[in-house]
């Protein structure tokens, strides 16, 4: 007695399941296999359609000959883009500010921080005002006054320059009129000398050399 159509279909489905295990379940279900067979696909074609090729495992990391440790991968070194020269890029890296720009006319930096001002209260601390300050140092007439590393308990790090210097509070509305007046007394808008904030660990002498190159006589 020859098997009927339903029996042949069952045998083919069973064959697909067995041959494509364990991957068939992630690709085709019973109804999909049945549909493929009804549309005239052969057993081999259904197996190929429902079977996923195994993903090859990644090659193990190569090791340095004669060494049991992996060859370390060096981190890429950040370089200035083509539109920024080395001195500008250096100042953007070492000045302790939120943003630094060098234009043909000036060196400009922005700091959004809390500044102490006024006199000490009964607690022994000066009040603070948190504002966004922009400092503009004209390159023409810029001179380095003093560059020195910090000495614990003796002095703070110094990168003092002189010239035509402007300070602007970009959000004065944050301060009450009385506070603003007292703050401006300690941080006037026009200066002839300022200590440029330099990040810890940076040699101010090297910063001074860069500033001298950018100065315009």
Give per-residue pLDDT as tens, 78-134.
Answer: 455 544 589 999 999 999 999 999 999 999 999 999 999 998 888 889 999 999 999
Contacts 24+ apart (CB under 8 A), 37-45: 37/9, 37/12, 37/13, 43/12, 43/15, 43/16
Strands in the chain per DSSP E: 99-102, 106-116, 128-138, 143-148, 158-169, 190-195
Q: What is the pTM of this model?
A: 0.60
Of 10-19, 129-138, 142-151, which range is least confident? 10-19
Domain segments of the chain: what residues? Answer: 5-50, 86-214
Would you tell me how many other CB atoms lie within 10 Å of the CB of residue 88? Answer: 18
What is the C-alpha to C-alpha distance for residues 208 and 206, in angstroms, rounded to an integer?
Answer: 5
pLDDT(13) > 90:
no
138 forms bridges with which residues in the sheet?
106
């Amino acid at each position: 007695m020859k098997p009927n159509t339903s029996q042949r279909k069952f045998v083919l489905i069973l064959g697909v399941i067995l041959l494509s295990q364990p991957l068939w379940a992630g690709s085709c279900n019973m109804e999909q296999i049945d549909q493929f067979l009804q549309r005239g696909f052969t057993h081999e074609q259904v197996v190929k359609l429902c079977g996923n090729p195994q993903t090859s495992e990644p090659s193990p990391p190569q090791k340095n000959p004669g060494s049991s440790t992996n060859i370390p991968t060096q981190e890429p070194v950040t370089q200035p883009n083509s539109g920024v020269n080395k001195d500008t890029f250096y100042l953007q890296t070492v000045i302790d500010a939120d943003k630094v720009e060098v234009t043909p006319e000036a060196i400009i930096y922005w700091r959004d921080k809390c500044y102490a001002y006024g006199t000490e209260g009964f607690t022994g601390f000066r009040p603070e005002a948190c504002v966004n300050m922009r400092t503009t140092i004209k390159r023409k007439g810029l001179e380095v006054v003093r560059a020195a590393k910090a000495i614990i308990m003796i002095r703070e790090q110094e990168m003092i320059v002189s010239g035509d210097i402007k300070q602007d509070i970009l959000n004065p509305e944050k301060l009450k009129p009385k506070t603003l007046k007292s703050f401006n007394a300690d941080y006037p808008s026009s200066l002839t000398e300022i200590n440029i904030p330099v990040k810890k660990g940076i040699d101010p002498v090297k910063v001074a050399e860069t500033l001298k190159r950018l100065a315009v006589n």
